[in-house]
Structure 1
């Protein structure tokens, strides 16, 4: 097991709490290539945003805010974060995107849901594509210096038991059929319906175990953890690097085939499907409509490409632009959410139908999740292929885009494929 870079906590052993207006002392230094970031996490309460072995891993809490429900939760969150950033004493020797003071965040899907959260860790270990590493420590001014602690051992989940979510499989199929009926009569053009699934284990689930398993199996996804929400999302909502922004829109799904021939057949079916292409067009158009007014230039691929992951393949549109206005990564995420990839078209009608038919609160599922630094740079994905952990329990989520040509049984099968990454992460033997 790799040695930790340090379990930075208060000297009394308690993690930091809400930001109370005190200044934060931030020190960031270059360190030797840390290798596997996830192996360096010293405790189960992990924070992470990692793809292909690069990104950020954090632990502890120097500052935290849980935001009330409301359309303004992104604005309120950014105001809080700016106050934290502006009051900090930062010394950043690494000088890289994501070094120095950063915050992780995860926002609710719906305006009516409470629980959006922003966390400034006690420590962040970063690694870029060149193998350069950096370690940032964050301490409220006036507090005693922290000390390194031993890494807590990992315990794999055992005795997993599964339980129905808010709707049974049959009830969810009926909800899909109702949605298709509403679309057919012209109430809306697309709606994304999700369902949940509950799991319980013999002991509290260690997020680090799930993160390692997800990162190993889905390296092309963004493996994330924030306030107990853990997953591996394929969908990048927005990346900001200075004035440059990019996004990856995914909508339209097929499973992977068991053989090369079967895989190719399913890929051809996906690319040629009028239903899947219709679903994708709505998602790409909604992102373009929201992002274009903020950009000097905006380029979208004219024809969706095929993107393959370990268990599914998607239609994808890549987006690149140059900002015309000074908007942070978090502000951009708030402006784009919810896209038609997770809500529907038109947005208001789709969100209203989601509330009516899903019989559950999505909480932070399908909301933005990611990070931002003091320069406003950052990456925010859509919280998909994920589970909310609470002690020995896990709540999994999966959803599908519903259009006029959707078949309830086929959509149910798609959710089962999308549950599989988290189910496997919970059940697999190491």
Structure 2
């Protein structure tokens, strides 16, 4: 079937997440899609809903290429009156962490609203045979907006008890000190339930309000606010931001500064970060004519934690799509470890759970190969009134199991709070 994608300018400056339609109970659409962050004091990105195409590649190392090829094979006539990054047909994507797991997807919505550099646009994708489409139905600015009913989340258990996870970290430290590998990232899950189905759009709005500088995403019931931009590609210009090494925050300004200074001075945290940054550099350097990066890590301060961060910018030597580069980068040492193969094997041995799409690429792509892809962190996988939250830590030779467990608790707090769970209950 031939599709027609038409993009026109839209005179609407309301927050993008508020443009997702809601039912009479205030709930967002089940097929909501989003990739939104704040830039220059305004929100930017894309939201979408409806289903024009749903592309599900088979598990395998080639899942990124297979999904992109399926998107490019669609028969789409494009009428783009705006011509900005993110206009025309755009597919939102999420991928499984491991090669052999299901869950990878590219979703092409029927309606997309985007904003960049102060311009807003509307893209609609409909059959080109003249079939009468349903109305787009942007929310009426004058309509009363009821908030969705919201029940608090309750803890429903984890795949492994804390004791097992502490032992897993201790085993990983032993393997590292014995020379089997340099770093491995171990994660835990945290299941919750509610008396009402979770609302992805409502959760995204709350995450965006608290973490505006992060990329808030919704894809196929997978919701989060990631601070880590794995790859942005605009023509041949690429950008990547690596995070590894974490400390808490304090409401006291002096204490907060001391926490940041200790993070920058920590040999253990610097070593953990160096492995992550090197893994990105080693992939991007041969793919670019010129690659530039921060000479030393800097602090990235978020609402609940602060990280060591390194940014990379470069120009691709050949015309490679964003997803091609993402496939080469994943998993970086920030979420897998180093060496990559040994780390992924140890994760499978010790973690005791299925990561699903946690710590894997999430974002969007267009038909020209441009796109933005983050690492799915600070996230939840929603399934009706059930959800799984995730948090991971980098384990190196100097790691202490109890300290790593506490770091996962700190990272989980963001999603627990957004879902209304009382962590002290």
Tell me the TM-score normalized by structure 1.
0.92
Q: Distance in 2 between matches of 1:350 and 1:319?
A: 24
2:120 paired with 1:141: no
- 1:260-297, Cα deviation, whole Å (9 max, x unpaired): 11111111110000000000000000001111111011
Quick check: 2:260–2:306 contact (8 Å CA) kept in 1? yes
Residues 382 and 156 of structure 1: is their aligned pair in 2 closer, same or farther, counting only changes over 3 Å? farther
2:367 is matched with 374
Task: Provide the C-alpha distance between the structure 2 equivalents of 1:248 and 1:197, rounded to a whole number of angstroms.
Answer: 27
SS of 2:112's partner is: strand
CA distance in 1 between counterparts of 2:397 and 2:149 reads 43
Q: Aligned partners of 2:263, 2:238: CA distance in 1, in Å?
A: 28
Determine the C-alpha separation between the residues in 2 that align with 1:129 and 1:35: 14
Structure 1, 346-355 or 58-67: larger mean CA deviation: 58-67
Report how many residues are paired: 405
1:78 to 68, 75, 88: 68
Which ranges of structure 1 fall in alignment gaps of 5 or more residues? 1-21
**What is the SS of the residue equivalent to 2:419?**
helix
Shift of 1:313: 0.5
Return the match for 1:48 from 31, 34, 50.
34
Partner in structure 1 of residue 167 of structure 2: 174
Q: CA–CA distance in 2 between the matches of 1:428 and 1:374?
A: 40
Residue 413 (structure 2) pairs with residue 420 (structure 1): yes
Instruction: Trace 1:265-304 onto structure 2 (pairs within 5 A).
Output: 265-304=258-297
1:106 corresponds to which residue? Answer: 94
Deviations 1:57-112 (A, max 9, x none): 0111100112221111111111111112xx21110111100011110000111011
Measured in 1, the distance between the counterparts of 2:58 and 2:171 equals 32
The residue matched to 1:388 in structure 2 has which SS? strand
1:25 and 2:42 correspond: no
Summarize the Cα distance change of 1:150–1:224 in structure 2 as closer, same or farther, 3 Å threshold.
closer
Residue number in structure 2 paired with 1:60 = 50
Is structure 2 residue 231 aligned with structure 1 residue 243?
A: no
2:142 corresponding residue in structure 1: none
Q: 1:10 corresponds to which residue?
A: none
Unaligned runs of 5+ in 2: 22-28, 140-144
SS of residue matched to 1:138: strand
Q: Report the RMSD for the aligned CA atoms in angstroms.
A: 1.4
1:37 aligns with: 16
Alpha-carbon contact 2:155-2:421 (below 8 Å) kept: no
Q: Quick one: distance in 1 between partners of 2:307 and 2:152? A: 33
Confirm or deny: 8 A CA contact 1:156 1:209 kept in the other structure.
Answer: no
Equivalent pair of 2:362/2:376 in contact (CA under 8 Å): yes
In the alignment, the residues of structure 1 paired with residue 188 and residue 150 of structure 2 have an alpha-carbon distance, to the nearest angstrom, of 23
Structure-2 change in CA distance of 1:24 and 1:154 (3 Å): farther
How far 1:257 moved relative to its partner? 1.5
Matching residue within 251, 267, 278 for 1:258: 251
Q: Of 106, 122, 132, which residue of structure 2 is paired with 1:118?
A: 106
Cα distance in 2 between the residues matched to 1:319 and 1:423: 32
Aligned to 2:188: 195
Kept in 2: contact 1:192–1:344 (CA 8 A): yes
Q: Distance in 1 between matches of 2:98 and 2:150?
A: 31
Post-superposition shift, 1:150? 8.1
Q: Provide the TM-score with structure 2 as the length reference.
A: 0.93
**2:320 matched to 1:327?**
yes
Secondary structure in 1 matching 2:100: coil
**Aligned with 1:139: secondary structure?**
strand
CA distance in 2 between counterparts of 1:353 and 1:94 reads 48
Q: 1:214 offset after TM fit, Å?
A: 0.4
Matched-pair contact (CA < 8 Å) for 1:33–1:127: no
Contact 2:96 2:358 in 1 (8 A): yes
Query: Per-residue deviation at 1:148?
Result: 4.0
